[in-house]
Amino acid sequence: MKLHLLRYFAVLAEELHFGHAAERLAITQPPLSSGIKALEDELGVRLFERSSKHVALTAAGQAYLAEVRVVLEHVARAGETARCVAAGLRGRLDIGFAGSMVYRDMPGIVRAFGQRAPGIEVNLREMSSGEQLEALRHRQLHAGFINTGAVPEPLCSLPLAPDHFVCCLPEDHALAGTASVDLRALAAETFVMFSRAVAPANHDNVIALFQRAGIHPRILHATRQWLTVLTLVALRMGVALVPACMAQAAVTGVRLLPIAKLRHPCVGVLAWHQDAVTPALRGFLDVAAAHRP
């Protein structure tokens, strides 16, 4: 059944006049008459009682009209949905994030995008940086907030607002009351470290700080989340170097102090696959770019 015949029927049912209906449809009367006849032949029922002076719906026509209006409404809504999705105003985005990103740019970007495009559902998925890179390569995520400074092809990235590493000590540590900490004073301490398998860039950046300070730390613990690092330090399981943004986690029992004479960035990017940019993702990336200081 052709959709235009349903439109012919609906308009004629409203006008009950072939001339008026043809005018609304911007066609002549012959194709309207033949279209209605073809529709009735296909259905095997009469939809209209008609004479030279009178057009009226049959009982079957009245019942059919109610159903046709539903069909035409669905068709119109489907077209509107397609246009909204094509314009990036409706749809869904699956966005990955490393745990520490809740203390960086991610919440502000997601909120700003929600205000700009309320018709787009943003589904956040906490994953390690390595897991996100793999998911992005296989197009299982639209984008991801990742602890890294560079991404492999065919991925693209946008740097996040800068952060840096600070020293995390138990609150009763002998150096916890100082203004800053010289890493060399911690050479004999046990360090809690972020697992390299989870986020190689963060692990390597911390190791680089140790090398610049000229120390070879004793590392006994490896975690998957920065919040776990802070918790282990609070439990006096060691000391650590963590992103400054983790101060927002407000973990009790620890002190976060600047590292004396050393400042090293804690890298982070928003990454996506270069061949998988949808209109909705383009809008998200625009918001992220505008959000950077």
Question: Tens of pLDDT along 65-91?
Answer: 999 988 888 887 777 767 766 766 668
Report how far residue 93's alpha carbon sits from residue 118's, in angstroms, rounded to the nearest whole number: 12
Radius of gyration of the chain (CA): 32
Record the pTM. Answer: 0.69
176-210: b or e for each residue (b if 16 or more CB lie within 10 Å)?
bebeebebeebeebebbbbbeebbbbbbebbbebb
Residue position matching structure tokens 């940086």: 129
Kindly state the tokens that stand for 292: 């950077």
Q: What is the pLDDT of residue 205?
A: 83
The tens digit of pLDDT for each residue in 189-228 reads 999 987 787 777 778 888 888 888 888 888 877 788 889 9
The two beta strands, 143-146 and 91-97, are parallel
The pLDDT of residue 181 is above 90: yes
The pLDDT of residue 144 is above 70: yes
Nearest to 130 by CA among 165, 94, 98, 95: 98
Where is average pLDDT lowest: 25-34, 133-142, 189-198?
Answer: 189-198
Higher model confidence: residue 265 or residue 284?
284
Strand pairing partners for 48?
A: 57
> Position 88: which residue type?
G
Q: What is the pLDDT of residue 76?
A: 79
